[in-house]
Chains A and B, each alone.
Chain A
Amino acid sequence: MAIVFIPSQLRSLTKGIEQVQLDVRNVRQVIEQLEDRFPGVRERLCDGDDLSPAIQVCVGQNISTRGMFTKIEADHEVHFLPAIGGG
């Protein structure tokens, strides 16, 4: 099971739950399962069918550029972080 960390600003939707374990193979499934359990999460993290451009996803220890298609393995941590631009 992957461990999905709920961003602090979304915990009002999860009644304070900070992390959940989900049986998922990619980020799209994370969003779907979070939305099932905590309605409203999708709207906060997504823009249409994609992750919001303001959001990037970190799976395991790696920030991914593959958005919803990012693969997830059992025991991976999943974090939703602000997007970054570099110099």
Chain B
Amino acid sequence: MSQETKQASSNGKYRVLGTRPVRHDGADKVTGKAIYTADVKAASMANGFVLRSPHAHARIKSIDTSAAEALDGVLAVMTAEDLPDVTDKIADLGEGSVNLAHLSNNVLAQDKVLYRGHAVAAVAAVNVHIAEEAANLIKVEYETLPSVTWVLDAMKDDAPLLHENLYTSSGGEKADTASNVGVHLNFQQGDLQKGFEEADAVVEREFKMATVHQGYIEPHAVVVDWNHDGRIKVWASTQGSFTCRQQTAEVLQVPLSHVTVVPCEIGGGFGGKIAIYLEPLAAVLSRKSGRPVQIVMRRNDVFEATGPTPGAFVRVKLGATKDGKLTAGEAWLAYESGAYPGGMLGPGCMCVFSCYDIPNALVDGYEVCLNKPHIKAYRAPGATQAAFATESVMDELAEKLGIDILEFQQKNAAKEGTRRVDGPVYPKVGLVECLDAAATSDHWNSTLEGPHRGRGIASGFWFGCGLKSSVVASVNSDGTINLTEGSTDIGGTRTSIAMQMAEVLGLDAQDINPRVVDTDNIGYTDVTGGSRTTFATGMAAYEAGLDLQRQMTERAAELWDCNSEDIQIESGNFVSSSQTATFKELATELFKAGEPLVGRATVAPDCSTNGFGTHIVDVEVDMDTGKVKILRYTVIQDAGKAIHPSYVEGQLQGGAVQGIGWALNEEYFFDDDGEMRNASFLDYRMPTAYDLPMIDTIIVEAENPDHPYGVRGVGETPIIPPPAAIANAICHATGVRMEELPMSPPRLWKAIQQNQDGN
């Protein structure tokens, strides 16, 4: 096990940042006292159950709920007729947007079901067993329609059409005829033909990637109480309480102020718990039954009805000179968006060449509807698929040129001033530092011996964003602080945010008591997603600390009979020519002397945090079975400034493990009828601790100039490189260049056999 930090500039600057205090929610989490949504029990609470479509594509001809309503113990039954009509309005959700008609339709199907598992009706009863029994008494008459579950098939002219009113948008221009292709994107840079003419070597390959799920441990769950006064209280497992509130209010067509969302502890989200699924159902059932209603998804419902990340087809062509300089790149991407338009094509196209300085490039991308659940984000959405293709071709091109792959990456690495193919120029970024750290790492410099063993390396990039955050800091009479915030804590952010306030005020992390509160008790805060929370909500905590210092300086001047300009802040202490006080000492005095102290801050930083990472992996391949064993794995990533290194390491390790699962095993298996045949954790094979070695980490700290402490987002980048790094390692172990994910034993075994047969 090896975890190390390579600091570029912040050594010894901080008292709290960079330390590893015990997390504020640690005791509750390890003793089982933390409250998750399924733990919420309201008085007279009913249980809900959702009836889902057995067909991948069908028209709903009729729904008869009479038998369900007549069953003893049933309190309410609903169909799409109980939801208000929502127009084709686009709602801005901060990070991304949603078509409300599609959202409402996904919550409960109206005239058509678009995937197996699509919700059709819902029941509330005195217990979940009666609710399930009643749901099964609902008679739905379907007219089944042909379905399609592979992206290239769905693009064909004769493919089953999901939406008769979907016209391809190319830069805002709509096509004349309806199709499953919702969006066409195109980026161009330089002169592509000239770039390839200048190349001494060119490699082009096509890659296929299966649909995978985020695989969070906690299923979607919700409790809703629609009170008689029209106020709706929602307890939810959500990455964003305000986003949840907005979607719920929009689908139900009620004012935002009538909805309160209480974010419970969350057992993983990874982008899959931003959209709502159950909230409007539980709300309507609550209104109809007069009771709070709880709905908890079963695991198969989570797989079949919530957002997987897109399967994709990507073709990448790269050219370089014999001295290893990239001259041209061309990419063609087709990404699934699932049952509705609106997916992850944009970032896929923007990330496909984002790690390298490529002067001449062309990217074409297509986003395609098909009969699967509506696609949702999954840690750096769209980037992993793109990187699998580009980083595989980079490895092959280096091999063709006879250049060491790491040297090839270093020679072409994006850095400050590099223009991405989609246009923007990078500010200060840390890919070069990551590659340098890889070059000097123990892993890269170690010897790998033995048959059928290989080493691979790959890099990845994710934007990271700022968005909106609010915090309030109430100072207690002893100088400790109650910090309220709106960011759901998924990866230890309570503590990483509190540490930034502690640092600015000269306090210890444990002097701050952070609490994630409901939407009535804090200002608007965007989702915990986009690698933004430690960056942006941490920035808000820093700003709230400065707000407190401003207030305290003014009031200290009155106490100390001096001008506020004569008081300086030094390491969190208040210093005048004749007096010095720590934060706690001054806070205690000011509490006695007058009004309570409350600091506040709201931020909306306009910037990307630009996170780069590089992964190294050693594998051993069983040539008889195609099973891949991970022998050693190292994640190197630029964190800007690691506020709490343990949490950064946790993000790097967690992302890498999910990427390893994506690389080697995870996929949705559909039969010819569009039914997922492996909708359980028994059959949907995610890696466990038994499958993996300790994931080593190297944290690089190339400070982000857009954050007071240099923080970059870290949560998403680590899922990007694993499939490509592992594919490259497999190639070096076996001579087989894999072009399809997952590289599962049967698929790899077949490729090995074909390679040995000379096919």
Q: A9-B171, A63-B465, A87-B271 are in contact. Are A81 and B186 (CB under 8 A)?
A: no
Question: Most chain-B Cβ atoms within 10 A of its Cβ — which of A44, A64, A65?
Answer: A65
Question: A44 near B346 (CB under 8 angstroms)?
Answer: no
Determine if A26 is an interface residue (Cβ-Cβ < 8 Å). no
CB under 8 Å from chain A, chain B span 467-509 = 467-468
For residue A63, which residues in chain B have a CB less than 8 angstroms away from its CB?
Answer: 424, 463, 465, 606-608
**Nearest chain B CB to A60 CB, angstrom units:** 9
In this complex, what residue of A is CB-closest to B271?
A87
Chain B's closest residue to A81 (CB) is B422
User: Which chain B residues border A79 with CB–CB below 8 Å?
Assistant: 422-424
| Closest CB in chain A relative to B6 CB, distance in Å | 24
**Chain A neighbourhood of B716, CB < 8 A:** 86-87
Task: Check B169 against A54 for contact (C-beta < 8 Å).
Answer: yes
Compute how far the CA of A83 lies from the CA of B186 in the bound complex, rounded to whole angstroms.
14
Q: Which of A5, A66, A82, A83 contacts B349 (CB 8 A)?
A: A82
Within 8 A of A (CB), among B453-472: 462-468
Whether A86 touches B380, Cβ cut-off 8 Å, given contacts A63-B607, A79-B423, A81-B346, is: yes
Q: Is A85's CB under 8 angstroms from B381's CB? A: yes
Range for the number of chain A residues in contact with chain B: 20 to 34
Q: Is the CB of B185 within 8 A of A82?
A: yes
Q: B545 an interface residue at 8 Å Cβ cutoff? A: no
Query: What is the bound-complex CA distance between A77 and B420, given in angstroms?
Result: 13
Cβ contact within 8 Å between B346 and A82:
yes
The answer to whether B399 has its CB under 8 Å from any CB of chain A is: no
B188: nearest residue on chain A (CB-CB)?
Answer: A8
Expressed in whole angstroms, the minimum distance between the Cβ of B335 and any Cβ of chain A is 12
Q: Which of A58, A70, A84 contacts B347 (CB 8 A)?
A: A84
Say yes or no for A21: interface residue by CB 8 A criterion. no
Q: For the complex, would chain B's binding face be called helix, strand, loop or mixed by DSSP majority?
A: loop
Q: A8-B186, A86-B377 are in contact. Are A61 and B424 (CB under 8 A)?
A: yes
- Taking a contact as CB atoms under 8 Å apart, the answer to whether B90 and A53 are in contact is yes
Nearest-CB distance from A85 to chain B (Å)? 3
Residues of chain B contacted by A77 (CB below 8 angstroms): 423-425
Smallest CB gap from A79: residue in B: B423
Other-chain contact of B424, A52, A55, A65, A81 (Cβ < 8 Å): A81
Of the listed stretches B93-101, B133-141, B298-306, name the one at the interface; the rest are far from the partner chain: B93-101
User: What 0/1 readout, one digit per residue, does chain B (126-161) give for beta carbons within 8 Å of chain A?
Assistant: 000000000000000000000000000000000000
Asked if B346 and A87 make an inter-chain contact with CB atoms under 8 angstroms apart, the answer reads: no
CB-defined contacts of B272 to chain A, threshold 8 Å: 87
Which of B13-21, B202-210, B229-237, B527-535 forms part of the interface with chain A? B527-535
How far in angstroms is the closest Cβ of chain A from B385?
A: 13
Contacts from A to B (Cβ < 8 Å): 5, 7-10, 43-45, 47, 52-55, 58-59, 61-66, 70, 77, 79, 81-87
Residues of B within 8 A of A (CB): 90, 92-97, 169-173, 183-188, 214, 269-272, 274, 344-347, 349-350, 377-381, 422-427, 462-468, 529-532, 604, 606-608, 706, 715-716
6 smallest CB-CB distances across A and B, nearest first, come from A9-B171, A87-B271, A82-B346, A85-B96, A86-B530, A44-B172
